[in-house]
Amino acid sequence: MTTPTQPAKTLVLIHGASHGGWCYERVAAILRSQGYRVFAPTLAGLAERASMDSRRINLTTHIEEVVKLFERENLRDVVLCGHSYGGMILAGVADQIPDRIENLVFLDAVVPEDGKCMNDYVFPGWRILPILISVWLFGRGYRMTPPPPAWFFKVNKADRAMVNRGLTGHPFKTLTEKIHIGSNADRIPNHTYIYATQWRKSSDRRAVRARETAQRLEGVRGRERSRRHDRRAE
């Protein structure tokens, strides 16, 4: 008599701004070799999908894409992991389909509050001004470009050229649209926040705010790792 095998654990990995599914290629290969089922989609308007019209892409677009992935592949009991801007996507998806998710993993990511947008966290107050100028000068008013270079994320020197080749401008509406979420994510059994200590100083207001938001959520397990912000691409 053969022993029934347990179904493979499913992971959905969501990248951050200006990146694409390519940044998870190495870690996805390792996970698949260990028997995991891994999806690392590229969000609309980025990487190999950068030719899409950014004027038609907003935060809702990205959230709906991931929800449709769950429905198309009939994904359940999923570990949903998001990096940086990917935290916005996690929050939106978790609010819509919490019963399909087993664990939300915020990987050095924004943990948004209802009524906030990405720019509220990363470019608060006057910090948005140079970004707006860049968007209008180089992105025709609807694209954040050029993207930050690999050194900004403290990518190791050996991988910087590879990462720079993959980085693309980011649809700006995804950063300005405010998210509207309720408390449905509370139904998800597990929540994890992983904070990369090597990228930002502990006194960085943006980093502190993300951690404090995560810590206020009931049941969130926090972990600090001596890692760079873009470590998963290395």
Question: Based on C-alpha coordinates, what's the Rg of the chain?
Answer: 17
Q: Are 195 and 222 in contact (CB under 8 A)?
A: yes
DSSP state of 177: S
Per the document, the length of the chain is 234
Backbone angles phi, psi at 192, to 5 degrees: -135, 135
Closest CA to 47 of 139, 133, 147: 147
Q: What is the distance between the terminal CA atoms of the chain, rounded to a whole angstrom?
A: 44
Q: Is 84 a catalytic residue?
A: yes
**Which listed residue (54, 84, 134, 202) is catalytic?**
84
Q: How far apart are CA 234 and CA 232, in angstroms?
A: 5
Query: Which residues share a beta bridge with 194?
Result: 107, 223
Q: Where are the beta strands (DSSP E) in 20-163?
A: 37-39, 78-83, 101-107, 143-144
Indicate the angle between helix axes 86-96 and 59-72, nearest 10 degrees.
Answer: 60
Enzyme catalytic residues: 84
